[in-house]
Structure 1
Amino acid sequence: MRRLLFMAPARRWAEYREVLPGAIARAGIKAEVSPEVPDAEVDYIVYGPGDGGPTDFARFPNLRAVFSLWAGVETVVGNESLTVPLTRMVDPGLREGMVEYVTGHVLRHHLGMDAHIVNPDRDWDNTAPPLARHRPVTVLGLGELGGACAGALATLGFPVSGWSRSPKTLPGVTCHSGEDGLDAALSDAEIVVLLLPHTPETENTMDAKRFAQLALGAVLLNPGRGALVDDEALLEALDSGQLGHATLDTFREEPLPGDHPFWAHPKVTVTPHIASETRPDTASEVVAENLRRAEAGEPLLHLVDRKLGY
């Protein structure tokens, strides 16, 4: 009988206490899952870090692997006490939610819907927006989430460019990689979607130089990680008119402090990190499959590369 420690905020256990054991049972594994397991008896950890400090994984002498519930692992990947395999969460619910958020906000900005939803002066401007095929969109990050979003936008008719660290090929998407590729991907883009992982290399990817490469009045969507954006450069680009609007779902500090200038800026939409959520039902199936693989000695799904940080 294997024992899994559910190491996540208490409210998360209420969401997983039934669906996770059920998924493990369907995978044919005899295991017990609990938020309370003696350190020496922990075989695996289902990990969803809260607001506490770094976890000391060395206190679990028989730990075999850690299964993260989140897509991003930047808070744990550098933990020197974690020497066992670490997996990140990639599941259908996470992917579908991100596609819906990104597609919805891209269409919102493409169609200029804000001017019609909030129109106190009752302006009758019946200028129609361009067709999607005339609105260049760039997606930075072509992994599981970014690739799905880029594909969905291409299906809607947008000319989509994408950028990733390593070369990718996606149907309907003009894919770039490398430093020169990033310049090409951003050049004259009218809507930019950030879905890169947060690593030392991606910190402040969108800075003053990058904002200047975009089409005048471009829109930025950041459902990825807050640290991908230089906040001061973003505010300057908005104030100068180089950037027309920013819809932000992730921030360097969360919850976003009430006195942060993003809240009051007329060209910023703040959403409270709701672009996509790990759904317990679909995430439990992924954890269960990785547990089965670990017990069978098979390669784990979505194994984190410690050098790359994701």
Structure 2
Amino acid sequence: MAWENQTFNSDFILLGIFNHSRTHIFLFSLVLGVFTVAFIGNTVMILLIYLDTQLHTAMYFLLSQLSLTDLMLICTTVPKMAFNYLSGRKSISLAGCGDQIFLYVSLLGAECFLLATMAYDFYVAICHPLQYSVFLNHKIYCVMVVSSWIVGFLDGIIVIAVALSFPYCGAREIPHFFCDVPALLTLSCTNTLLFERLMFICHVIILLFLVAVIIVSYVHVIVAVIHMGSGEGPQKGFATCSSHLMVVGMYYGATMFIYMWSVSDHFPTQDKMVSAFYTILTPMLNLLIYSFTTRKWPEHS
């Protein structure tokens, strides 16, 4: 069995991203500041959308779900990293490592599907405003959002079940500031190439489908905006498209970098930088982009 040489009481060591030099102390303080802004901002956005009945529309419902994923994502990694840094402890239990992997993969998958749903929502609002309630009524977008979460959780369950089935040995030192699948697989005592290839194929198929939905949606939106002629409408449409494409680029770019390369092609420093940008900085940047977008979104219900 794969668990012969390990138990659920076995701990891993997170090597982290910061040391105690002055520069890294400043960077750590900066991370805590970003975490605070992202945590408070996304929490406030979720509460405002929930409490204000005027915001109970498809657009704001999608924004609340995206804020929820950002809030959960930043809480999955930063608190443990901060605790380890401040306490001087670097250990994480096998169960804790599994929790981080499950949440990280699930939230990443759910957010990718939610962004595709948002692109479709924008397409319907711009290209078929009179039929909006037919193409995307309350029942339809609720099903799409729930499906996004279900697919994300299924992805997380499959990945964590397979990843933790491998035996891990040696120093058990993870070259990261949280438990990530590629970093964890480098410690495996057995060959994980088959799992890596299957994970690559699955993510390619899913990402190609989602990217196709997003590209087709925004191509139609851009064509429709161009046909609007001159005036404030096209400017708002292009501003909204660029804002959404920024978010899409950040999330899909991080996903492709992390999960579409073999473990042997990963470098710890690069992985840490990309993961820090995605899990720490992006939830705050998205909040700013969402706030900008809502003022320019076409009115629909």
Bin of the TM-score, shorter chain as denominator length: under 0.3
- Does 1 or 2 have the higher relative contact order (CA < 8 Å, sep 6+)? 2
TM-score under structure 1 length normalisation: 0.26
More strand by share: 1
TM-score under structure 2 length normalisation: 0.27
